[in-house]
C-alpha cells in the first residue's frame, strides 16, 4: 500500500501537469483544449493537494502542489488587474454590444430592450435564425439600428449558423470572415472615418477532435490588427484567456476590452439552468487605434451568454 507521502505526491501531479500545459501553451487537441477553459477552477482547487501534502508531512509534495497552484493562479488573477491605459482617442465614442441568441430561442423583446437601454451603436449577433431575425425586426430592432449586414446560414448548415451586424452608424462596406459559422464584417462610417467591425462566432471545441480543429481554424482565420484602420472583433469566440490560440490573438496586437479595464475574470457563459461552470467565452477585441473607456456585462433573458457592452474611443 502506498505511503501517505507517495499518495500526496501522486495527488499533486494532475495540477502540476495542468500548470505546465497552461504555462507553455501546449494544450492540443481533444480533450485538452476544452479542458483548459477550466483553469480558474483548477487554480481554485489547487489547495486540495497542498492540504493533503501538508497533512502527510511531505515537503516535496507540498512544494509541487504549491508551485502548481501559484503557476495556475498567477495568470488567472492577472486578468483582474487593469492593463496599461489605452489611447483614449479624440474622436467619436462608439458603444458595441454582443448577443448570442441560443439557436434563435432568445426572445426578441429582451434584445431590443438591451439595445435601447444601453444605447447601443453596433450589435454583433450570433446564433441567428430566419425566425429570430423576423421577430427582431417585428420587435423594432430596425428602428433603433437601421443599418444591417445579415449573412444567412449556408446550405447544409444549421439554421443558427447565421450571423449579423446591426448598426446605428452608416455601413459603407460589407464582407465576411471565413469560418464554421457566418461571421459578417462591415465598414462603418463614423463621422467620415472608417471603423471595421466583425461579428465573431467561432466553432465550439467541446465535443471531438474534429471540433477542436474547426475551432482552431476559425481563430486562425480572424484578421490581423491594422495600424491604419480602427478595428473591432466582437462576439462568441468560444475561447478563454487560458487558451494559447486566444492568447496568440492578443500577442498579434489585439486588446481584450474586458482585460484592459480589469474585468477579465467576469464570466459571459454558463448553462442556462445551472450556476456553474462560468466561463469567459465572449469578447470585444480592439485594434491598436481603438481605446476602451468602459465595459459591462448584461444578462439577456433566455440566453446562456451575457452581453458584453464595450464603450470604445476612436482616434480623432
pLDDT in tens, 53-94: 999 999 999 999 999 999 999 999 999 998 765 655 567 999
Would you tell me which CATH number, out of the four given (3.60.10.10, 3.50.50.60, 3.40.50.880, 3.90.1150.10), belongs to the domain 93-313? 3.60.10.10
pLDDT at 87: 59
Nearest CA-CA partner of 293 in 82, 53, 12: 82
Q: Is residue 68 helix, strand or coil?
A: helix
Name the β-bridge partners of 166.
Answer: 123, 148
pTM score, two decimals? 0.96
User: CA-to-CA distance for 18 and 39, rounded, in angstroms?
Assistant: 8
Low-confidence ranges of the chain (pLDDT < 70): 1, 84-90
Vertex 107 angle, CA 102 and 110, to 5°: 105
pLDDT at 88: 55
User: CA-to-CA distance for 234 and 123, rounded, in angstroms?
Assistant: 9
Domain boundaries, the chain: 4-78, 93-313
Amino acid at each position: 500500500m502506498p505511503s501517505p507521502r507517495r499518495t500526496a505526491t501522486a495527488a499533486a501531479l494532475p495540477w502540476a501537469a495542468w500548470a505546465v500545459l497552461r504555462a507553455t501553451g501546449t494544450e492540443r487537441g481533444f480533450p485538452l483544449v476544452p479542458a483548459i477553459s477550466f483553469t480558474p477552477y483548477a487554480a481554485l482547487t489547487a489547495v486540495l493537494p497542498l492540504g493533503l501534502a501538508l497533512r502527510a508531512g511531505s515537503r516535496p509534495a507540498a512544494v509541487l502542489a504549491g508551485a502548481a497552484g501559484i503557476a495556475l493562479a498567477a495568470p488567472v488573477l492577472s486578468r483582474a488587474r487593469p492593463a496599461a491605459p489605452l489611447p483614449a482617442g479624440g474622436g467619436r465614442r462608439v458603444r458595441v454590444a454582443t448577443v448570442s441568441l441560443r439557436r434563435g430561442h432568445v426572445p426578441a423583446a429582451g434584445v431590443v430592450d438591451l439595445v435601447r437601454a444601453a444605447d447601443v451603436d453596433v450589435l454583433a449577433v450570433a446564433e441567428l435564425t430566419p425566425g429570430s431575425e423576423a421577430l427582431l425586426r417585428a420587435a423594432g430592432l430596425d428602428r433603433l439600428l437601421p443599418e444591417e449586414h445579415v449573412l444567412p446560414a449556408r446550405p447544409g448548415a444549421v439554421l443558427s449558423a447565421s450571423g449579423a451586424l446591426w448598426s446605428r452608424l452608416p455601413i459603407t462596406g460589407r464582407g465576411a470572415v471565413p469560418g464554421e459559422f457566418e461571421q459578417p464584417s462591415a465598414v462603418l462610417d463614423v463621422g467620415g472615418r472608417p471603423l471595421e467591425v466583425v461579428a465573431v462566432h467561432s466553432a465550439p471545441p467541446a465535443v471531438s477532435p474534429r471540433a477542436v480543429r474547426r475551432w482552431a481554424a476559425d481563430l486562425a482565420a480572424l484578421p490581423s490588427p491594422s495600424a491604419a484602420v480602427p478595428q473591432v472583433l466582437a462576439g462568441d469566440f468560444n475561447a478563454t484567456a487560458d487558451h494559447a490560440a486566444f492568447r496568440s490573438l492578443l500577442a498579434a496586437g489585439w486588446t481584450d476590452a474586458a482585460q484592459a479595464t480589469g474585468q477579465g475574470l467576469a464570466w459571459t457563459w454558463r448553462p442556462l439552468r445551472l450556476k456553474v461552470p462560468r466561463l469567459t467565452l465572449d469578447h470585444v477585441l480592439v485594434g491598436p487605434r481603438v481605446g476602451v473607456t468602459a465595459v459591462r456585462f448584461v444578462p439577456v433573458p433566455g440566453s446562456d451568454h451575457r452581453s458584453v457592452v464595450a464603450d470604445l474611443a476612436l482616434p480623432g
